[in-house]
Amino acid sequence: MSGLGGLRNVVRQELVTRQLDEQIAACFPLPTGSHALRRLRVLDVGPGQGTQALRLARAGHLVTGLEADPTMLATLRAAVAAEPEDVRNRFVVLPGDGRHAGRLFAPACFDVVLCHGVLMYLPDPEPMLAALARVLAPGGLLSLVVRNGDALAMRPGLLGDWRTALASFGSAVYTNRLGLATRADRLADLSETLADIGVPLRVWYGVRVFTDTAADRAAAPPDPAEFAQLLDAEDRAGREDPYRSVAALLHLCGVRG
């Protein structure tokens, strides 16, 4: 959990890790043999500090991080430089916008494409998703983490901010905790888009059902047993209806046909 920040981000990354590993195992079974190794080609669009990208590189995968923000690009490069040589050799950091992935990479050249926490900053998700679908190999996995547009009123409502809660019903726009105007996505809309671009939805999860109202500086419980229970409760809620439908974030996994 080092470097992940407060409780809300730790919960997000820990849950996405569980879910992503589950889907990678399902889509890319390990080959047989005592020294079997699953080495995948991974593209992470907007990896930020590189939590998921670095984890996958440490696991032996070949990772490309594509980052458009100069500050986050420098942060990512520093994080990769601090890794052991074998991890550095498996990780390529590139400046660029995921919407231009079709120009930057050959078709069908990645087994896994991650786009976590990026679509909310774009006015329209479809150009990005179409570009990412183009570079995804047949049978490849597309992993998206988005703000849940069907539950925008939950956080302000639970915090007693009734004006914002009322304004959130039927809306796709919100102001995030950084004070930036951003956009949420609805499950039905993204499911339709994924089907249209040939990467139909395989499974979806909710992320942060119970902990989304935690204060910005709230830390994870110091007791490992208590924290494990918290994660297990969030994990189960993120897999079951009706809980997952009111999660702050959605994790959607589609597979290229």
Tell me the per-residue pLDDT of 182-204, one tens digit each, with 9 for 90 and over: 999 999 999 999 999 999 999 99
Which one-letter DSSP state was computed for residue 177? T
Please state, in angstroms and rounded to a whole number, the distance separating the CA atoms of residues 255 and 237: 23
Residues 138-161 have a mean pLDDT of: 97
What are the backbone dihedrals phi and psi of residue 203, each rounded to the nearest 5 degrees, phi first?
Answer: -160, 155
Question: For residue range 54-67, what is the model confidence (pLDDT) as tens digits?
Answer: 999 999 999 999 99
Phi, psi of 26 (to 5 degrees): -75, -40
The pair phi, psi for residue 14, each rounded to 5°, is: -65, -40
Around Cβ 16, how many Cβ atoms within 10 Å? 22
**pTM of the predicted model as reported, rounded to 2 decimal places:** 0.95
